[in-house]
């Protein structure tokens, strides 16, 4: 493909992403479906360039002011994530001069908001929580791309066997530092055609997400509910932990999301999973199971701000109002899910948010309203569930699980664990 044609495609995708009317990953998928002839390398360049624009939008829009031509093209030039010589082949002389001039600017001397590239409403609570030094470490971490984490399906293979099989195919991986099920690969290698993937030996799942399933500690023969199952990453981890015994209900209000679980379920070899579409958290099917369930995982709908490395558009699509709405929804979902548990049963509330409003604040409201539930120290639960005791402490904050991208090199996650009194 001619360099200029590739640059124009980058600009076209950037243009549609900056409308923020749909999740970025869905728009990128639609774009590639409409441009089927693109090769793997071209897709990589286009997607990574577009995501770089989302990560550094304030900075790049500021730098782009001094250029000429369509704004989306200027942004794509500044964010270019492909071969540099290839880019030069696409640029006019004046664009080359302009790019050189922009490259000489000392970015460390620019105003703060052009360095952290986060909206003001998000900066304030994060600085208050972390302090200045850690805030900047977090800003750097969430503005970088994430590696690819896999969860090994222990029903089908051991971690070291999968690691060796990946190495045979030229993919180097390292065991995840905290999860005993995980492997981490650099970049975004295409694994969908590999035997370890098609045979269900691995699933793509961030290490933080794996730790939520470990905290739930689902056992053989139990009745377990994944209350907001989505596409089922944690459902599959729970089913494998149960050694394919007992009953595992995967609830979600979205049939579309549950449909994405079906092919994954088929690969996994699990037969103990029952996907159930519910109308809302007060659905009659939930009432029928009240007081009968051993363990409930509530990975609640949230702002997703812990996943900015993968979904940088979220920082521009969320707002203080949407977070307030989510807080109220999270409390309602957690209250409803709690009714399912039998005495002695375990409740895990989790989000992939960085904000106290969706995390500690929700857990505190629940604890105050439910004296029949006792908060369990997250580090003790993790240590009981195969995580090294010292590492479990490093993941714990005030009795809760708290994962930060800059400290733990995973997505940002929160979890609280309660036991219903006997």
Which residues are identified as catalytic?
Answer: 352
In whole angstroms, how large is the CA radius of gyration of the chain? 23
Q: Give me 139's structure tokens.
A: 């800003």
CB 226 within 8 A of CB 235: yes
3-state secondary structure of 257: helix
Indicate the angle between helix axes 71-79 and 57-64, nearest 10 degrees.
120
Q: Answer for the pair 400, 363: CB distance below 8 angstroms, yes or no.
A: yes
> Which of 241-269 are b and which e, b meaning 16 or more Cβ less than 10 Å from the residue's Cβ?
bbebebbbbbbbeeeebbeebeebbebbb
Contact predicate 410/151, CB 8 Å: no
Within the chain, how many helices (H) and strands (E) appear?
21, 13
Closest to 300 measured CA to CA, from 352, 260, 250, 261: 352
Other Cβ atoms closer than 10 A to 79: 22
Q: At what angle do helices 40-55 and 24-34 cross, to 10 degrees?
A: 150
Q: What's the Cα-to-Cα distance from 157 to each of 184, 236, 404, rounded to whole Å?
A: 16, 14, 29
Query: What distance in Å separates the CA atoms of residue 338 and residue 31, rounded to the nearest whole number?
Result: 41
């Amino acid at each position: 493909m001619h360099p200029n044609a590739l640059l124009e495609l980058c600009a076209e995708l950037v243009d549609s992403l900056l409308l923020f009317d749909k999740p970025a990953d869905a728009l990128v998928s639609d774009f590639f479906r409409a441009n089927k002839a693109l090769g793997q390398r071209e897709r990589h360049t286009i997607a990574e360039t577009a995501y770089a624009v989302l990560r550094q939008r304030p900075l790049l829009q500021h730098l782009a002011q001094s250029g000429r031509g369509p704004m989306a093209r200027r942004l794509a030039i500044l964010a270019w994530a492909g071969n540099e010589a290839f880019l030069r082949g696409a640029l006019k002389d004046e664009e080359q001069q302009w790019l050189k001039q922009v490259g000489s600017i000392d970015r460390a001397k620019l105003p703060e908001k052009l360095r952290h590239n986060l909206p003001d409403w998000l900066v304030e609570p994060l600085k208050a929580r972390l302090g200045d030094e850690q805030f900047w470490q977090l800003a750097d971490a969430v503005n970088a791309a994430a590696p690819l984490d896999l969860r090994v399906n222990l029903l089908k293979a051991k971690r070291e066997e999968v690691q060796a099989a990946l190495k045979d195919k030229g993919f180097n991986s390292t065991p995840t530092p905290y999860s005993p099920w995980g492997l981490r690969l650099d970049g975004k290698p295409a694994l969908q055609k590999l035997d370890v993937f098609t045979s269900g030996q691995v699933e793509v799942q961030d290490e933080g997400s794996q730790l939520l399933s470990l905290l739930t500690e689902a056992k053989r023969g139990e009745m377990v509910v994944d209350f907001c199952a989505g596409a089922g990453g944690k459902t599959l981890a729970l089913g494998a932990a149960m050694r394919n015994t007992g009953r595992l209900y995967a609830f979600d209000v979205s049939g579309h999301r549950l449909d994405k679980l079906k092919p994954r379920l088929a690969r996994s070899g699990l037969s103990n999973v029952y996907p159930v579409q519910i109308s809302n958290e007060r659905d009659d099917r939930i009432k029928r199971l009240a007081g009968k369930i051993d363990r409930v995982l509530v990975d609640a709908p949230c702002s997703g701000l812990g996943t900015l490395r993968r979904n940088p558009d979220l920082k521009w699509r969320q707002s203080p109002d949407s977070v307030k709405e989510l807080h109220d929804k999270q409390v309602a979902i957690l209250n409803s899910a709690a009714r399912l548990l039998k005495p002695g049963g375990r409740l895990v509330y989790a989000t992939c948010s960085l904000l106290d409003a969706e995390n500690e604040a929700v857990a505190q409201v629940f604890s105050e309203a439910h004296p029949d539930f006792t908060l369990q120290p997250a580090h003790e639960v993790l240590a009981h569930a195969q995580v090294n005791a010292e590492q479990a402490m490093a993941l714990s904050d005030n009795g809760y699980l708290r994962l930060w991208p800059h400290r733990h090199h995973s997505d940002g996650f929160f979890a609280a664990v309660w036991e219903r009194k006997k």
